[in-house]
Amino acid sequence: LNSLSGSLPVEIFNMSTLRTLYLADNYLSGVLPSNMCHGLHNLEDIYLSLNNFSGAILASISNCCISLRDIMVGDNPLNGVLPRSIGNLSISVERLNVRNSGLRGNIPESIGNLSNLVFLGLSHNSWTGSVPNTIWGLQKLQHLVLSNISLTGPLPRGLCGLQSLESLVLSQNQISGSIPGCFNNLTSLGYLNIAFNRLTSTLPMGLWDLKGLQGVNLSSNLLRGPLAPEMGELKNLTKLDLSNNQFSGKIPSTIWRLYLAENNFTGAIAVSIPNCSKLTFISRGYNKFSGGIPLSLGKLRHLEFLELIDNNLTKFEYIYIYIYTRLSQNQISGSIPGCFSNLTSLRSFYIAFNGLTSTLPRTLRNRKDLLGINLSLNFLSGSLPVDTIGSLQYLMYLSLANNSLQGAIPSTVGNMLSLETFNLSHNNLSGLIPKSMTALRHLKYFKVSFNDLRGEIPTGGPSENFTHEPFLFNKDLSGLFRFCCPPAKLFQRINQGKSRCFYLCLFFLVRAHGRIPYCDFMQATNGYHESNLIGMGSFGSVCKGILDNGMLAAVKVFNLQI
């Protein structure tokens, strides 16, 4: 990247010894001359991608010399068509990429004349129609990328003749019909992606004859039926995404990465899954699985990610080694197993919106490399374990909101130096907000509303960026004006610590003057400073102040603990 701009000087096109024209990733613009290749007799490679060239570049290039190999002109606003003359290019052309170039119209049948092509990238354009059957002429083609180009109609059987094809990407189109059974002829295929189309019917049995398959993505189609047992024999398959279809039935084994979210799978999670000894990823969210999470999942020693979100699971038995566990939005009840200390690869742990009870397991302190914990919206009780909280030094996300936790917030929260999100709202926590929290320099979101906290809100550190909202609905919090709480020392002097601070910006009706925010009273009285004190009684004290509109006001602070 040199940040070159402007148009190309015509002298470049007279450099007869030039072999490679590499000007990619700049700000060049303009229209290339139609005879651009007349003086470039030895040109082999053209790299003009990621610029602002326009016009009939492809028509100009189609007249280039016989030694041309690479044509990379994608990511330019060409806004034209792929000319039929593209088929007149030398058979020496090996790579053609015109992605994201504003091209429209049909893919010309003459594309099949480029018999030495090994890479063809036509993605992110506005083609119409279907893939021409002449595609079968590209016998040496190894990579075909036709994603997001508005293709319609069925998959052409001509694709079945591309026996050198290693990757086929046809995602984000409107391709309909079934996957041709002749796909078993694609013996070199390692990656297949036809996601986000309108494919129907069942998967052809011949697909699982492709023993070299490493990744298959057929998600977001209308495919249905059971999964063939032969699928489990693909020992090189490391990723299989069949999510958002209509599959049903049993799950084959010996698969590494498995995505089956948003299908119609029902019943219990198959205990045969542990036979998938190399499985590293399970995504079965948004299905209709019920029952418990089988104990045998603990045998998946390589498992890094488990997602069973939004099913009908009811029991939580024993899970071993996951980098990311997401079991949210189920009906899991009972306690969190103490054996989580054995989860040596665990990084994130999400079991929100369930029916978990008991206390937080102290054994979590052994998982010092945890990055995220979300146990909100459960029925957890007890106190926050001091040693556990203090040991999670790498934790970035902690949400224990909407539970029944009690006791104080331990001062060891100051040891969670990586924390960015900390939510303890809607519990029964009491005591002070520890001053050690000022050490949490990375904290961006903090919420302790709807608890029973008291004392002064610590100043400095991340609290400098907080408003009153994280502290709403507590009993005796005090702090800076922006928290809508009077300073703690003032309350101690005026009411001997007996008054409660309404730090929520409540609104008071003042006769004809409408509703006035409580924070305005705070500012008008300089935080109920004693210099504005005009009287004290058995029920509280009265302070004077001048509101923003100039009105003189007298504000009474009631003692609610009489």
Annotated binding-site residues for ATP read 556
- Based on its alpha-carbon atoms, the radius of gyration of the chain, rounded to whole angstroms, reads 33
- Non-local (6+) Cβ contacts of 347 within 8 A are 323, 324, 369, 370, 371, 372
Please give the backbone phi and psi of residue 482, each rounded to the nearest 5 degrees, phi first.
-65, -15
Convert 356-370 to b/e letters by CB count within 10 Å (16 or more is b): beeebbebbbbbeeb
Burial pattern 400-437, b for ≥16 Cβ within 10 A else e, equals bbbbebbeebbebbbbbeebbbbbbbbbebbebbbbbb
Q: Which residues of 528-551 are buried (b: 16+ CB within 10 A; e: fewer)?
A: beeebbeeeeeebbbbebebeeee
Are 435 and 458 within 8 A, CB to CB?
Answer: yes
Alpha-carbon distance of 141 to 145, in angstroms, equals 11
Residue 526 corresponds to which tokens in the numbers above?
């300089």
| DSSP state at residue 129 | S
Number of H helices, E strands in the chain: 4, 44
Residues that constitute the known binding site: 556
For residues 132 and 154, what is the distance between their CA atoms, to the nearest angstrom?
11
Q: What angle do CA 270, 271, 272 make, to 5 degrees?
A: 85
